[in-house]
Amino acid sequence: MSSNIFSDEKYQEAAQKAYDFIVRQLNVNDYSLFPRMKENYDDSHTSRIFATVDMPEDAKVNFPKYIYCDQFYDHEYQGVCSGGHKNTGIARHNLGVEITVWTDSKYRSCICPLHADGSWRSEQYFRETDYYAIGDSENSTIVKWETYWYRHDKIINESGSNGLKGFDLKYYRWLDDGGNEINPDSLPGKVSWVDAEYQAAIDAYDEAMEKGEPWEGEIPERAHFVRATAYTLRPTLVDDTVIDDAIPKYADYDCIQYVYADVEYKTEAQSIIYDGEVSASDLPDTAPELPELPQPFLRDIMVQPGPRTGTLIITWITNFEDACELSFDGNTQTVRSQTVADGYYTYHATVSAALGREYEVSITGKDDTSASKTFSYVDSNRYLVVGDPQITDAASAEVWYQIQNVLDPLPTLIVSMGDQVDSILDPLLRTEQYHQFTARQSVPIATVRGNHDRNVHFLGHYGLPNASEGNWYCLHNGVLFIEIDSNVTDVVFHRNFISRALAAEPDHKWAILLMHHSMYSTSTRAMTNNTTTLRNSLTEFIVKETDIDIVFAGHEHFLSHTTYPGKLFFTCPTCTGSKYYTADNTSVEWSQVTIDTKVPKYTVMDVTDERITLSVYDLSGTILNLCTVTKPVAGEGA
């Protein structure tokens, strides 16, 4: 690619036009949705409009991170883009919508977005999220649905002179907040169904009244109507979806929603999304050359504990599938890629390392791409246990880096109790947060899977020793760490995994169970169905059938611990302060210690043969809490 094209004045002008065009497409002020309702409707309300509700002022606007610049510089392009938004047929039955766009531009102009770094690549997919509140005036139930979209190419006018191509985006499935698929035929709320015969009686009565004719017989009661509100947020990026050449273009649209007794949504509209013309005189004389592939990258190196002391797992990602060369402690190995998540390739390498040294890992890949990281592998039995780093932005990342180096000397391992990054739905934001989480590392870090890690990117970015799905275990200096994925409530699977881990390392001195969700915290978050299932099904097993000494958790973002179940259940507070929650259930029967001050905190775990000491500090180094777990020395009485 010629280096001066991107600085060309004419090109910059065209690029700005493209960017302004996309901003306009996604500007909430250019959209409107009018659910109709009225509390005191008149007797002739059948099939009538109820009332008007404007788009919420706080509706989120998602500006694109790229521009469709080629649509404006292609010298053959002379037309406009138009589009329609409708809710009919199968889509209406599923409370879905269909968005269709057309362009008379060449096909290539729809699949070559220009990124801010000057590279051309298509990599993002979109969804639209609709919120519906359905119920009667006395019993309103709010339910959230999420529509997932895919792109389908078809030729609209194959036999015509211009060969138009269309791109249909259709619903895939509906999910609730818990990620469970919803049956669109089973809606919540109080609904009265009106059959055709009864509706005919109502219509006949209305007609008689309008004509002033007498009515004989029983006057039909009016159908019970539901009230409904609806609004549509801007298109947002779909979780875990990065697909080549999937670049839909969205139309501005107006929607009218009629709500009748069977909660049938009828929405039909169409509008032009760009009503101007771009002529050849507005375009650069020469279009930029499009590279065949984006520039290769190699990043997000993570160093984590291996199966046993003296082994480490090193993980990184690239956007190419070629093998990489890893250099560590004077040795080199070739590492091949794995496809774990869409959008990038994952590499895992296991290396041997002696305790008590500082190391540098260096990796080279395609076209001389390279990255490196230095870290310490400390010979001690001091650990730093931290709750929910949950990186949200640069500020929380800086606290994360500070926490990693707060101890002098450094700990032998850091144990992160889940939710390493915050973003669940926005791949661009999540990608940036992974960069921030992995950018600096003082010592190896063990990562627990949290609810914000409940996607394939957790497995794509981290190396898990002795892994079985989201569960893993490792032995370090006599301490056996066993992690279970508490997003999963298959308690038989968890019990079997814990038993296998304990049996596989019979010489462990201490056994620590790690899980993100806290079974014994002092908040109502511990009373959810999933956590209650884990608590009721695992507590007796842990206390009576295993030699587990401590159960660590996170999720709550405040400190609490209790020995009520018979062993120490310890909930770690947030280490970055990116989010805080309140201990709103301190009267629960197992409540013993709770500290929910709104400051970042960390826990130091010191281990000897006889004792584990847990010391909780705030970021200033002030000690806030201390507790111990002891066991008799071998050969002594209990």
Q: What is the mean pLDDT of residues 321-338?
A: 95
My answer on whether 555 and 624 are in the same domain is yes
Place of tokens 């880096």: 401
446 vs 281, more confident: 446
Whether 236 and 308 share a structural domain: no
pTM, whole model, 2 decimals? Answer: 0.59
Amino acid at 543: V
Same domain, 241 and 308: no
Position 180 scores a pLDDT of 56
Q: Which residue type is seen at 399?
A: V
Q: Are residues 416 and 511 in the same domain?
A: yes
Q: How far apart are CA 205 and CA 219, in angstroms?
A: 7
Cα–Cα distance, 626 to 638 (Å, whole number) = 24
| pLDDT value of position 296 | 82
Q: What is the DSSP letter of 181?
A: B
Shared domain for 274 and 371, answered yes or no, is no
Q: Which of 563, 630, 629, 570 is nearest to 601 (CA)?
A: 570
- Inside any domain, residue 320: no
Q: Per the domain annotation, does 201 fall within a domain?
A: no
d(Cα 600, Cα 389) in Å, to the nearest integer? 10
- How many Å apart are CA 320 and CA 241, to the nearest integer? 17
Domain count of the fold of the chain = 2
Residue 193 has pLDDT above 50, yes or no: no
Say whether both 85 and 182 belong to one domain: yes
For residues 386 and 14, the model is more confident at 386
Higher per-residue confidence, 103 vs 457? 457
The pLDDT, as a whole number, for residue 5 is 47
Best CA proximity match to 475, nearest among 510, 515, 517, 516: 510
Q: Is 495 a member of any domain?
A: yes
Integer Cα distance of 374 and 304 in angstroms: 13
* CATH number of the structural domain spanning residue 584: 3.60.21.10
Is the domain of 39 the same as that of 157? yes
Q: What are the two backbone dihedrals, phi and then psi, of residue 408, each rounded to the nearest 5 degrees?
A: -135, 110
Distance CA 135, CA 176 (A): 17
Task: Please give the structure tokens belonging to residue 575.
Answer: 């280490």
Question: For the chain, what percent of residues have pLDDT higher than 70?
Answer: 56
Minimum mean pLDDT among 121-130, 152-161, 230-239, 253-262: which range?
A: 253-262
Q: What is the mean pLDDT of residues 139-143?
A: 44
Residue 90: is its pLDDT beyond 70? no
- Computed from CA positions of residues 621, 623, 627, 628, in that sequence, does the dihedral angle turn out positive or negative? positive
How far is the CA of 606 from the CAs of 407, 556, 611, 629, 630, in angstroms? 12, 23, 8, 11, 12
Mean pLDDT of the 521-531 span? 91
Q: Is residue 92 domain-shared with residue 37, that is, in the same domain? A: yes
Closest by CA position to 359, among listed 342, 371, 377, 346: 377
Element (H or E) spanning 328, and its range? strand 324-328
The sign of the CA dihedral 485, 488, 491, 496 is negative
How far is residue 547's CA from residue 537's CA, in Å, rounded to a whole number?
Answer: 17
Q: What is the residue type of 297?
A: F
* 484 three-state secondary structure: coil
Residue 254 has pLDDT above 50, yes or no: no
Judge whether 298 lies within some domain: no
Question: In the numeric block, which tokens belong to residue 38?
Answer: 């009225």
> Burial of 46 by CB count in 10 Å (0-12 exposed, 13-18 middle, 19+ buried)?
middle
Q: Is residue 359 part of a domain?
A: no
pLDDT, averaged across the chain? 68
Mean pLDDT, to the nearest integer, of 80-103? 32
Over residues 442-501, the pLDDT tens digits come to 999 999 999 999 888 899 999 999 999 899 999 999 999 999 999 999 999 999 999 999
**Within a domain: 516:** yes
Tokens of 361: 């890992």
In sign, the C-alpha dihedral spanning 404, 409, 412, 417 is: negative
| Tokens at 364, concatenated | 């080279």
| In a shared domain, residues 542 and 577 | yes
Same domain, 259 and 308: no
3-state SS class at 617: strand
pLDDT at residue 386 is higher than 50: yes
Contact in structure between 326 and 349 (CB atoms under 8 Å): yes
> Which pLDDT does position 210 carry in this prediction?
78
At residue 199, the pLDDT reads: 60
* The predicted structure's pLDDT at residue 455: 84
Instruction: Let me know if residue 349 belongs to a domain.
Output: no
CB 27 within 8 A of CB 249: no
Convert the pLDDT of each residue in 540-582 to its tens digit: 999 999 999 999 999 999 999 999 989 999 999 999 999 999 9
Q: Which of 489, 441, 481 is nearest to 464 (CA)?
A: 481
- 308 and 248 in a single domain? The answer is no
Instruction: Report the pLDDT value the prediction gives residue 634, as an integer from 0 to 100.
Output: 59
In the chain the first and final C-alpha atoms are separated, in Å, by: 75
Query: Coil, helix or strand for 458?
Result: helix
For residue 546, give the nearest of 496, 583, 484, 605 by alpha carbon: 496
Asked whether residue 549 is domain-assigned, the answer is: yes
* Per-residue pLDDT, 310: 97
Please check the confidence at residue 25 and state whether its pLDDT lies above 70: no
CA torsion angle 339 344 348 353 (round to 10)? 180
**Domain containing residue 98:** 5-191+226-282
d(CA 517, CA 417): 9
Q: What pLDDT is attached to residue 465?
A: 97
- Region label for 95, one of left (φ > 0), alpha (ψ between -120 and 50) or beta (otherwise): left
Q: What is the mean pLDDT of residues 176-180?
A: 51
- Classified as helix, coil or strand, 214 is coil
> Can you tell me which residue has the tokens 């979780």?
239
pLDDT number for residue 344: 82
Q: Quick one: pLDDT at residue 181?
A: 53
Query: For residue range 604-613, what is the model confidence (pLDDT) as tens digits?
Result: 999 999 999 9
Question: Does 278 share its domain with 371?
Answer: no
**Mean pLDDT value of segment 40-66:** 32
Is residue 587 exposed (0-12), middle (13-18) or buried (19+ Cβ within 10 Å)? Answer: exposed
Cis omega (within 30 of 0) on the bond before 409? Answer: yes
